[in-house]
C-alpha cells in the first residue's frame, strides 16, 4: 500500500481551505472564529477598541474584543500587564452583552478569558498594591457576571466575588467602584428573596447565601448614595435606576418607584442589554399603572 507523505496531505488541506473559504457562509465562519472588525476599523489603538466595546452594538463589541485579545496574545509578558484595565473593562461589557443575548457559550468563554487574565496578573505580581488591583478587576468582572447569569450559577459567582472583594478592599479601602458592586449584589439578593414564600426564600437563600444583614439593608438609600457619579461605576445607567425603582416598589413606595423607572427610560438603546432593561422598565411602569 502506497503511503502519502504528510507534507502532501498538509498542502492539500491548505489548498482545500483556500478554495472553499469564499463559499463558507459568513454565519458559519463567525460561529468558530467570532466576528472581526472591517479592515477600515481594525485598529491597534487600545483606547479606540475599548470605546467600540463600551459604546457600540453587540456584534461590534465582540469584534473589537476579539481584536483586543489578538493584540494581547502578540505582546510580551511585561507588555501584557499594561492591558489589565482595558482588557477587564472590555470583558465586563462583553459578558453583559452575552448575558442579554442568552449566549451561555459566550459567557463561559469571556469568563475563562477574564479569570485566566487575572490569574496571570496575580501570578506575576509580588507588590501588594498591584495584586490588589488584579483582585479589584476580578471582583468587578464577577459582579458583571452575577447580573448576566442564571440563579444557580450566581451561587458560585457570589462566593468568588466575595473572595476577590476581600483581597482588593484591603488596599482600595475607599474604592467607590468596589463598594457600588457590593451594594448592587446585596440588593439583587434581597430583591430575589423579599416577598417570597418560605420554600422559595429557602431555595434562593441556599443559592445566593442571603443573610439577615442583607435583609435589613436599606437598598434605595444605599444605592442613591452613588447616583450623582453613577456613570463612573455603571455603564448601563438605566440598570441603576431599574434597581432603585425595584427596591422602592418592593417596599411599597409605588410613586417613588415610578419616578426612578421613568428616569431609566431616558437613555438611548444601542444594544440588546439596553433593549432588555428598557423592556423591564416598561413592564414595571405598566404594572404600577394597572395593578
Domain residue limits, the chain: 44-172+189-208, 218-291
Question: In terms of Cα–Cα distance, which of 228, 244, 256, 134 is closest to 184?
Answer: 244
Residues 6+ positions from 206 with CB-CB distance below 8 Å: 155
Whole-number pLDDT of residue 16: 53
Confidence (pLDDT) at 121: 85
pLDDT at 207 (0 to 100)? 45
How far apart are alpha carbons 274 and 271 in whole angstroms? 5
pLDDT of residue 24: 43
pLDDT score of 34: 73
Give the separation between CA 217 and CA 270, rounded to whole angstroms: 33
8 A C-beta contact, residue 145 and residue 95 = yes
Residue 5 pLDDT: 60
Taking the C-alpha atoms of residue 253 and residue 245, their distance in angstroms, rounded to an integer, is: 9
pLDDT at 267: 93
Q: What is the pLDDT of residue 238?
A: 96
The whole-number pLDDT of residue 81 equals: 79
Please tell me the predicted confidence (pLDDT) of residue 278: 95
Give, for all 291 residues of the chain, the pLDDT tens digit.
Answer: 454 565 655 555 555 555 544 444 444 444 445 788 888 788 999 999 999 999 999 999 999 999 999 998 888 877 887 888 899 999 999 999 998 888 888 888 998 999 988 988 888 788 899 899 999 999 999 999 887 755 555 666 778 888 999 999 999 999 999 999 999 988 888 887 776 655 445 544 544 555 555 557 889 999 999 999 999 889 999 999 999 999 999 999 999 999 999 999 999 999 999 999 999 999 999 999 996
- The angle formed by the CA atoms of residues 183, 259 and 140, to the nearest 5 degrees, is 25
**Cα distance between the two ends of the chain:** 80
User: What's the confidence (pLDDT) of residue 56?
Assistant: 94
Amino acid at each position: 500500500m502506497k503511503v502519502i507523505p504528510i507534507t502532501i496531505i498538509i498542502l492539500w488541506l491548505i489548498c482545500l481551505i483556500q478554495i472553499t473559504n469564499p463559499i463558507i457562509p459568513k454565519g458559519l465562519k463567525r460561529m468558530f472564529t467570532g466576528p472581526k472588525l472591517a479592515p477600515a476599523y481594525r485598529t491597534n489603538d487600545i483606547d479606540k477598541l475599548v470605546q467600540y466595546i463600551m459604546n457600540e452594538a453587540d456584534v461590534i463589541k465582540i469584534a473589537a474584543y476579539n481584536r483586543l485579545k489578538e493584540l494581547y496574545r502578540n505582546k510580551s509578558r511585561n507588555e501584557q500587564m499594561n492591558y489589565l484595565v482595558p482588557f477587564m473593562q472590555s470583558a465586563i461589557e462583553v459578558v453583559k452583552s452575552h448575558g442579554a443575548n442568552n449566549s451561555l457559550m459566550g459567557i463561559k468563554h469571556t469568563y475563562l478569558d477574564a479569570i485566566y487574565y487575572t490569574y496571570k496578573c496575580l501570578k506575576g505580581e509580588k507588590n501588594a498594591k498591584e495584586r490588589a488591583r488584579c483582585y479589584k478587576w476580578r471582583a468587578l468582572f464577577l459582579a458583571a457576571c452575577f447580573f448576566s447569569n442564571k440563579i444557580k450559577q450566581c451561587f458560585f459567582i457570589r462566593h468568588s466575588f466575595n473572595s476577590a472583594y476581600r483581597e482588593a478592599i484591603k488596599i482600595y479601602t475607599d474604592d467607590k467602584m468596589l463598594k457600588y458592586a457590593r451594594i448592587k449584589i446585596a440588593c439583587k439578593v434581597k430583591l430575589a428573596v423579599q416577598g417570597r414564600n418560605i420554600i422559595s426564600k429557602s431555595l434562593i437563600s441556599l443559592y445566593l447565601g442571603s443573610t439577615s444583614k442583607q435583609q435589613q439593608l436599606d437598598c434605595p438609600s444605599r444605592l442613591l448614595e452613588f447616583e450623582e457619579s453613577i456613570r463612573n461605576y455603571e455603564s448601563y445607567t438605566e440598570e441603576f435606576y431599574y434597581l432603585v425603582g425595584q427596591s422602592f416598589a418592593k417596599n411599597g413606595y409605588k410613586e417613588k418607584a415610578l419616578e426612578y423607572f421613568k428616569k431609566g427610560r431616558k437613555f438611548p438603546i444601542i444594544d440588546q442589554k439596553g433593549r432588555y432593561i428598557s423592556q423591564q422598565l416598561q413592564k414595571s411602569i405598566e404594572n404600577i399603572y394597572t395593578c
